[in-house]
Amino acid sequence: MSDLTEFRKAKDEFFATNHQSPLTDQQQSNFPGLSYFDEDDGFRYEVEVEEFEEKELIEMQTSTGAVASYTRWGKVAFDVEGETAELTLFGDAQGHGGELFVPFADVTTGTETYDAGRYLDIQPLPGGKMLVDFNIAYNPYCAYNEQWSCPLTPFENRLKVSIRAGEKNFK
């Protein structure tokens, strides 16, 4: 069993049984598991990052009409089926460091994947590169339960390519 398969199995178990799951009790009672695209190494990129000199503080609209603050940290570029795509990476507005947050939408958004887009959490690799692995792309919690408030994908992270990797739409 691959690491990704084990990760997905553990996530399904968490969603089905844990009281901190985004699912309601009723959803948990007959939860069949999440739907995913097949693992595809073609959607795993080790890329150089262009870190922004000035970390601009921005506010992202959320699914509940509130706002969430993030810093525009940098951007990465990668190739999808012959087309160059770019994503902006966002950091913790409080400057605590750690993972970088990447909300994104692509051509599958609203059909095969969640209407508001999906998320990636990215950690730096040694040598100044980033691992952008769309196989671990996931839906925000508001995709399962509208009581959650989730940052909406900013315009700059709306890709004109299909990312058929990671989590699919929740039924």
Per-position DSSP letters for 76-139, written without gaps between them: EEEEETTEEEEEEEEEETT---S-EEEEEB-TTBTTTB-TT-EEEEE-BPGGGEEEEEGGG-B-
At residue 13, the pLDDT reads 97
pTM of the model: 0.92
Q: In what order do the strands lie in the sheet with 129-133?
A: 118-122, 100-104, 83-92, 67-80, 44-61, 129-133
Amino acid type, 32: P
Dihedral angle of Cα 35, 40, 42, 48, to the nearest 10 degrees: 70
**In the chain, where the domains are located:** 1-33, 35-157
At residue 128, the pLDDT reads 82
pLDDT band at 134 (very low <50, low <70, confident <90, very high): very high
Percent of the chain with pLDDT over 90: 88
pLDDT band at 149 (very low <50, low <70, confident <90, very high): very high
How much is the average pLDDT of 133-152?
95
How much is the average pLDDT of 18-47?
95
At residue 171, the pLDDT reads 80
How much is the average pLDDT of 38-54?
94
**Encoded tokens for 24:** 């309601």
Amino acid type, 116: A
pLDDT band at 142 (very low <50, low <70, confident <90, very high): very high
Task: Return d(Cα 64, Cα 61) in angstroms, integer.
Answer: 8
